Each structure stands twice: as C-alpha cells, then as structure tokens.
Amino acid sequence: QIAFPHRGYGKKSGRSKKWREMLKLPPVSQCSELRHSIEKDYSSLCDKQPIGRLLFREFCDTQHDLKGCIEFLDAVLVNYDITNCYAFGLCCTKKPAAPLPEIPSRVLRECRLRLKQSPGKDVFEECTRIVHNYLSGEPFEEYQESPCFSRFLQWKWLERQPVTKNTFRHYRVLGKGGFGEVCACQVRATGKMYACKKLEKKRIKRRKGEAMALNEKRILEKVNSRFVVSIWV
C-alpha cells in the first residue's frame, strides 16, 4: 500500500488540477474515426479489456434478460458457489428455478448430472460458452450503438495518446542498480500499474556502460517469460 500525507479537505487535497485535465475525456464526435477502425471483437472488447468489460456489463444491467446472463457468468466464473447455481435452474435438487432461455434443456440435464457426480466450475463450461455466444450476437450489436460503447471509445482514445513523462504518476522506488532505479508508476488515464526503469545517462557514460545498457534493452524487448518483466519502449 502507498500512504499519502493527510492534507485536509481543502481545494488542494486529492488529485491536482493538472491531473484532472489529463483525465478529461474527449467529445464523442472526436472518436468517430476510432468507432470505425477499432476491431469489433466481442471477446476482446467486452471480456478481456477491464474498462470494456465494466461498460458492457453496465449496458447489460439496463435489460432484464441480459442482466440474467451477466449474473450467471458472475456466479460461475467470479463468485463460484454451489448455492448460486440453484438460482439459475442448473441443479434442481432443492428449489427448481427457471433456467436461462439461451441454454438448451439437453445441456442443462448434462449439467445437473455432472454436478451431482463432481461439482466444480468445469461443469458449466458448455453453459458459459453458450451464454457468451448469445451475448456476442445481437446484444453485442446493440451495445455498439449505446452510450456505454461511446464512453468506451472515449477511454480508448485517451489510452492511445502518445506516451510522455506526464502519462504516468510515479510512486515509490522498487529497486536500485548500477545505472539507475526501478519505481512503481500508474497510468493516469487508465489506472494500470507498471514498473518504470530510469537510467541516468551521466552515470552510464561515467562507467562506460553504454553497450551494457543497450544489450539489456534489446534482451528485455525480446524476452517472453513469466519470470522476467518485458520492456516497453
């Protein structure tokens, strides 16, 4: 955790005015080109990207049938609990409930049978795939015409702006080396956390470490390992 000094509740507390200006979303009309150029992929826009995932769910909350699909996905994937499954009629040993209309009765019967034999998340893989396929159809097309998708485009426009030193908010130092240090930083627009490596050119030249620094840069650009942080330049 990062602790900030308490400065009361005056106008100077909290985020600076400059930071608020950086987080200002552009007009929707300014994102018209992005609307046509962005890849219309349901999995990427509505499931894998955090902001897109939240805005798509916000859109689904406005429609009763879609809200039920999102509640089902949350119950199975996010907050899995055997009691949540009863609410969707996937196992009827206690209180039968109306199942989601998108899931065929054959699949429901198989789920009930597998649930009695070996309960677990994998029991609902087929149901989850069917619900995602349903959401990726007409609901996804309606979402693209909604204000929620326009807000998503505004965030994407802000996210795609050129990276400068003002793009990040720097926090504490994570480690130090021979030519610089690594600190935690946060993208002001999206809130994503990164590790930022800072090199002092004077120290590199004084120790004649130009070749070593360039080699490290090339290696970190190409490396792909779960144990090594890749570099973005």
- Cβ–Cβ < 8 Å for 149, 54: no
CA dist., res. 168 & res. 196, Å (int): 9
Q: Is 197 annotated among the ligand-binding residues?
A: yes
Strand partners, 182: 175, 197
Torsion of Cα atoms, 54 then 60 then 66 then 67, to 10°: 70
Coil/strand/helix, residue 171: strand
Strand partners, 170: 185
- Cβ–Cβ < 8 Å for 189, 208: no
Q: How far is CA 205 from the centre of its chain?
A: 40
Torsion of Cα atoms, 221 then 224 then 225 then 230, to 10°: 30
How crowded is the C-beta side of 140, counted as CA atoms within 13 Å? 18
Going by the annotation, the residues of the binding site are 197
Going by the annotation, the residues of the binding site for ATP are 197
